[in-house]
Amino acid sequence: MLFTSYSFILFLCVLISLYYLIPKRLQWKLLLLGSFVFYFFSGWSNLLYILATIVSTYFIGLKIDELNRKQADYLKENKEKLTKEEKKLYKEKIKAKQWSWLLACLFFNLGILAVVKYTNFAIANINSVLSIFRMTELSFVNIILPMGISFYTFKTMGYIIDVYRGKYEPERNIGKLALFVSFFPQLVQGPISRYDDLAQTLYQEHSFEPKTFSFGFQRVLWGYFKKLVIADRIVAAVLTITRNPEKYDGIYVLVGMVFYAIQLYADFTGGIDITIGVSQMLGIEVKENFIRPYFSKSIEEYWRRWHITMGTWFRDYIFYPLSVCKPMLNLSRFSRNHFGDKIGKRIPVYTATLVVWFTTGIWHGSSWNFIVWGLLNGIIILISQELQPLYEKFHQKVKIGDTFGFRLFRIGRTFLLMSSLRILDCYRDVGISFKMFFSMFAKPDLKPLIDGSLLKLGLDMADYIVLIAGVILLVSFSLIQRKGSVREMLSAKPAVLRYSIYIVLFFTVLVFGAYGIGFDSNQFIYNQF
Amino acid sequence: MKKKKIISFVIVILVISVLTVLLQKLLMPKYMTQIVEGALTKEYYYEKNKDHDVIFIGDCEVYENFSPITLWEEYGITSYIRGGAQQLVWHSYYLLEDTLKYEKPDVVVFSVLAMMYNEPQREAYNRMNIDGMPLSLTKLRMAKASMMPEEDLITYAFPLLRFHSRWKELSGEDFRYWFKRDQISHNGYLMRVDVKPVGRLPSPRLLDDYMFGDKAYEYLDKITELCKKNGIELVLIKAPSLYPHWYEEWDQQMVDYAEKNGLLYINMLDDLDEIGLDFEKDTYDAGLHLNLSGAEKASKYFGRILQSRFNIPDKRNDEKLKAIWQEKADYYYKMEQEQYEELEKYGYLLKFNMKRNEENNIKP
């Protein structure tokens, strides 16, 4: 069930009506049922995968907690009998058992993710090697990637690691845990919520609050505007350019790059707007996932503002544990001893950073394109960190202040840099991606921008007018947003103006949205991640 | 405060509803030129006097080949053609079901050519046959039975969801016919006076299977049942169009079906001489459809059968009906006159040749 399908709108109307009509204590149960119905419609076999994840995480969570209790009881009972050393040994024994359970949970669930997502990628790579030796190649397997598996797997892994770390107690009601994992607005493309952020608001009883509901509805409408009016319209040109690299190189690559940046932003943030808006209509608060990322002045800042919940997940559950794990500490010691302090302290940080970006890349998709994309992100971040002192020196000498023009330059530079990296997202392999990137410099012919060639990319003049108007609206919205919540500002305006804006937005989506026959309404780009 | 909020909410809903209706009317295709058959379904609901002796259902073989005005003038039979472009058997069934909500004719005539189709053919034909109907369960059931895989049922309840993207192609015609339409048919008959003689007909290709499909039979059974239930005589008819080819195997199936169900089946292709059709003069597209002169000949022939077999009384002396039909006939002859004048002036009919109009810079 796609967010942009009529069945989703119908599903939402029924669910929200029931949600506020039934006794409040049943609300979370209705949400659980609704989430399973939602998931069922994306393919009943998907349910098996998510159930396996829920059940395994639930029982292992309880098991870890049981070991905690056992330890506490044992230590209490034998407080006087045991020596300090014996207590430490016992604790280590329990921790080792908990560690084993945690590993079992991670292996099982990440194993499912790996099998469904990466089997064919692995086969393709094995086949490349086999073909060198002219050996019989392996057949690909037919596995359908369950919707949102990367998102819910990461959610549950975050949960079980936190339980292991003792950050909070495990959820004892399997239904409630199931709701946390399968909460339908987040199933499609995140955000990757943390249990301690989401759980309470999810299970609370919610009364109908007109203002909250209206704010949620406005956000949903805004999300549909981004997705249907902008993302699903511009995709035609993006696909024309990127699927025909032999025809569209040079300046077209730049056009495709910028168009894809617009598409991805409108698509992903639009989807998140719908997620957060729907949750808000249900009285549930979900964390923000974007803070105007295209206004970032550096790549580091960009990653703090884009897909925030994914970035923090990788930071908390991969980067930090990796940085302080035993092998890394050994590496650190070894590096310092052999290469000196300056280089030695960098090696573990670099290694952890590159591992994180490698994982981020492969999380985004099972292809070398994403792996290279991830690693390039990491390398650029490291280089910019290294060059920071140089920049500072240069700035002191040239005396460039923090002027509007310079800020704009930095924003433009970051936008183009990130857009260049995303070329790897668009073309079929790494080689073509690089070839297309360099063709921008090798064939700097600007004629297609003015000779009407852009009208042959699947968009006509009317589409461009809608897109330009849409992008201007997006940018204006973001600029206003810097001063505070746009919805709060609107709510202070006279009712006639306010409602006129809502009605215009509603009809803009209805009429100018690229949906229905004649438009292949695209799945949200992040659905498959 | 609460009251004020409720009033605001009601006003917003009202404004949205009104704007939705206005936009829907603007953005839906008007079918006033070129593909005028798209306007046929809707036109029936504008008909003031919905009380006919005979209702025709079917595809172009009814709305191009029979003239209700001729049936009235020659036999005093009142009739209406509920035809539509490539109207499939299930379309015909549901259109008949809907028609019976307004009137109960003595005879229903079903054009059997549609039996050759067992699956929905094109979304465009579905829209032309269904969109003109007022919203009802019948309409939704018809849409459900007709939809292509890429279609959504909700777009038949709210066609704006289907036609929203027409904002790009809005023309003067859309604004001119935003709230009112021209009458394009004569009780469902689409008039063409131009002539294109039959040349060489393509040879009929061999088929793998000559049996009509299950779905086609299922809905023919439903039509038969519906007519029986309402005490209506059902006549199966193969109109005298030369193409698409009507195979003997198909004809035999209809003969058998009619016999089994006690129905009258007429294959007019068997009586071309008796009808008096001359395919050098009586067709406007080389044998696919009859022109006005052909349709009048076919109607005279068929009216005779209707009157003799079903004792449909001659109502030409009914003063009220006489006045109604006189008005219809006046419009009929006026259009005929205008079409002949156009033919003489331009050499073709403007309404049906928009491309040539553009080439010749003519705005009809």
Disruptive mutation site among A5, A455, A511, A512 for chain B (greatest number of B CBs within 10 Å): A511
Give tens-digit pLDDT for A392-401.
Answer: 888 888 777 7
Angle at B222 between CA B221 and CA B226, to 5 degrees: 120
> In this structure, are residues A446 and A226 in contact, taking their beta carbons and an 8 Å threshold?
no
| Interface membership of B13 toward A (CB under 8 Å) | no
A330 within a domain of the structure (yes/no): no
Give tens-digit pLDDT for B27-38.
Answer: 999 988 878 889
pLDDT confidence band for A45 (50 / 70 / 90): confident
d(CA A431, CA A428): 9
The minimal CB distance from B12 to the residues A210, A499, A510 is found for A499
Give tens-digit pLDDT for B195-237.
Answer: 999 887 778 888 888 999 999 999 999 999 999 999 999 999 9
Domain count, chain B: 1
A307 within a domain of the structure (yes/no): no
Disruptive mutation site among B127, B147, B163, B164 for chain A (greatest number of A CBs within 10 Å): B164
pLDDT confidence band for B105 (50 / 70 / 90): very high
Within 8 A of B154 by CB-CB distance, chain A residues are: 6
φ/ψ bin of B51: left (φ > 0), alpha (ψ from -120 to 50), beta (otherwise):
beta
Name residue, tokens 């015609």.
B173
Question: Quick one: pLDDT at residue B1?
Answer: 64
A516 and B164: CB-CB below 8 Å?
yes
> In this structure, are residues A430 and A369 in contact, taking their beta carbons and an 8 Å threshold?
yes
| Interface membership of B8 toward A (CB under 8 Å) | yes
Task: Give the mean model confidence (pLDDT) for residues B293-308.
Answer: 95
A210 and B152: CB-CB below 8 Å?
no
B154 within a domain of the structure (yes/no): no
B12 and A503: CB-CB below 8 Å?
yes
* Contact partners, residue A281, CB within 8 Å, separation at least 6: A16, A212, A213, A216, A217, A220
Chain A: residue whose CA lies nearest to B151: A517
A198 within a domain of the structure (yes/no): yes
Question: Quick one: pLDDT at residue B364?
Answer: 62
B30 within a domain of the structure (yes/no): no
A210 and B162: CB-CB below 8 Å?
no
Residue A122's domain spans which residues? 6-208
Chain A: residue whose CA lies nearest to B9: A499
Closest C-alpha to B240, from B294, B312, B204: B294
pLDDT confidence band for A378 (50 / 70 / 90): very high
Chain B: residue whose CA lies nearest to A461: B168
> In this structure, are residues B55 and B105 in contact, taking their beta carbons and an 8 Å threshold?
yes
* DSSP symbols for A220-282: HHHHHIIIIIIIHHHHHHHHHHHH-TTTS-THHHHHHHHHHHHHHHHHHHHHHHHHHHHHHHT
Query: Which residues 200-239 of chain A have a CB within 8 Å of chain B?
Result: 210
Peptide bond into B244 cis (omega under 30): yes
Give tens-digit pLDDT for A283-328.
Answer: 999 999 999 999 999 999 999 999 999 999 999 999 998 888 888 8
Distance from the Cα of B16 to chain A's closest Cα (Å) equals 7
Distance from the Cα of B184 to chain A's closest Cα (Å) equals 28
Q: What is the pTM of this model?
A: 0.88
| Lowest mean pLDDT across A12-16, A395-399, B73-77, B273-277 | A395-399
φ/ψ bin of B311: left (φ > 0), alpha (ψ from -120 to 50), beta (otherwise):
left
B162 and A6: CB-CB below 8 Å?
no
| Lowest mean pLDDT across A145-149, A153-157, B112-116, B341-345 | A145-149
B44 within a domain of the structure (yes/no): yes
pLDDT confidence band for A474 (50 / 70 / 90): very high
A298 within a domain of the structure (yes/no): no
B23 and A460: CB-CB below 8 Å?
no
Distance from the Cα of B162 to chain A's closest Cα (Å) equals 6
Residue B114's domain spans which residues? 37-120+184-200+209-359
Residue A525 pLDDT more than 70? no
Question: Quick one: pLDDT at residue B329?
Answer: 96
| Interface membership of A497 toward B (CB under 8 Å) | no
Disruptive mutation site among A461, A463, A510 for chain B (greatest number of B CBs within 10 Å): A510
| CA distances for A281 relative to A36, A189, A273, A274, A430, angstroms | 19, 18, 12, 10, 43
B42 within a domain of the structure (yes/no): yes
Chain A: residue whose CA lies nearest to B2: A210
B276 within a domain of the structure (yes/no): yes
DSSP state, residue B115: G
State the amino acid at position A44 in one-letter form.
Answer: W
| Interface membership of B3 toward A (CB under 8 Å) | no
Distance from the Cα of B170 to chain A's closest Cα (Å) equals 12
Residue A529 pLDDT more than 80? no
Give tens-digit pLDDT for A117-126.
Answer: 899 888 988 9
Distance from the Cα of A350 to chain B's closest Cα (Å) equals 51
CB atoms within 10 A of CB A162: 18
A503 and B162: CB-CB below 8 Å?
no
Q: Percentage helix, strand, coil, to 5, in chain A?
A: 75, 0, 25
| Interface membership of B341 toward A (CB under 8 Å) | no
A415 within a domain of the structure (yes/no): no
- Retrieve residue A183's tokens: 């909460």
- Report chain B's mean pLDDT, rounded to a whole number: 92
B16 and A511: CB-CB below 8 Å?
no
Give the three-state DSSP class for B225.
Answer: helix
* Contact partners, residue B213, CB within 8 Å, separation at least 6: B117, B118, B119
B319 within a domain of the structure (yes/no): yes
- CATH code of the domain covering residue B49: 3.40.50.1110
> In this structure, are residues B100 and B127 in contact, taking their beta carbons and an 8 Å threshold?
no
- Retrieve residue A222's tokens: 């805004």
Residue B300 pLDDT more than 50? yes
B150 and A517: CB-CB below 8 Å?
yes
B162 within a domain of the structure (yes/no): no
Peptide bond into B364 cis (omega under 30): no
- Report chain A's mean pLDDT, rounded to a whole number: 90
Name residue, tokens 């504008």.
B46
The minimal CB distance from A510 to the residues B123, B164, B168 is found for B164
Question: Quick one: pLDDT at residue B194?
Answer: 92
Q: Give the alpha-carbon dihedral of B257, B261, B264, B265, to 10 degrees.
A: -10
Question: Quick one: pLDDT at residue A330?
Answer: 87
pLDDT confidence band for A339 (50 / 70 / 90): confident
Domain count, chain A: 1
State which H helix or E strand residue B140 sits in.
Answer: helix B137-146
Give tens-digit pLDDT for A208-234.
Answer: 998 999 999 999 999 999 999 999 999
> In this structure, are residues A19 and A31 in contact, taking their beta carbons and an 8 Å threshold?
yes
Name residue, tokens 């994403």.
A370
Disruptive mutation site among A502, A505, A517 for chain B (greatest number of B CBs within 10 Å): A517
Distance from the Cα of A511 to chain B's closest Cα (Å) equals 5
Within 8 A of A506 by CB-CB distance, chain B residues are: 16
B8 and A499: CB-CB below 8 Å?
yes
Within 8 A of A6 by CB-CB distance, chain B residues are: 152, 154, 161
Within 8 A of A517 by CB-CB distance, chain B residues are: 123, 150-151, 155, 162
B67 within a domain of the structure (yes/no): yes
Question: Quick one: pLDDT at residue A527?
Answer: 47
Chain B: residue whose CA lies nearest to A214: B9
DSSP state, residue B166: G
Residue A521 pLDDT more than 60? no
A92 within a domain of the structure (yes/no): yes
d(CA A208, CA A17): 10
Query: Which residues 139-178 of chain B have a CB within 8 Å of chain A?
Result: 150-152, 154-155, 160-162, 164-165, 167-168
- Retrieve residue B190's tokens: 């689409």
End-to-end C-alpha distance for chain A, whole angstroms = 16
Residue A528 pLDDT more than 60? no
Within 8 A of B27 by CB-CB distance, chain A residues are: 511
| Lowest mean pLDDT across A134-138, A197-201, A368-372, B331-335 | A134-138
Question: Quick one: pLDDT at residue A102?
Answer: 95
Within 8 A of B123 by CB-CB distance, chain A residues are: 517
Residue B40 pLDDT more than 80? yes
Residue A454 pLDDT more than 80? yes
State which H helix or E strand residue B109 sits in.
Answer: strand B107-111
Distance from the Cα of B9 to chain A's closest Cα (Å) equals 9
Question: Quick one: pLDDT at residue A162?
Answer: 95
Residue A523 pLDDT more than 60? no
Across the beta sheet with B54-58, the strand order is B79-83, B54-58, B107-111, B233-238, B264-267
Question: Quick one: pLDDT at residue A79?
Answer: 78
| CA distances for B217 relative to B226, B253, B304, angstroms | 14, 11, 29
Give tens-digit pLDDT for B61-90.
Answer: 999 999 999 999 999 999 999 999 999 999
d(CA B75, CA B64): 20
* DSSP symbols for B179-219: S-----SBTTB----------PPPPPPP-S--SPPHHHHHH
| Interface membership of A6 toward B (CB under 8 Å) | yes
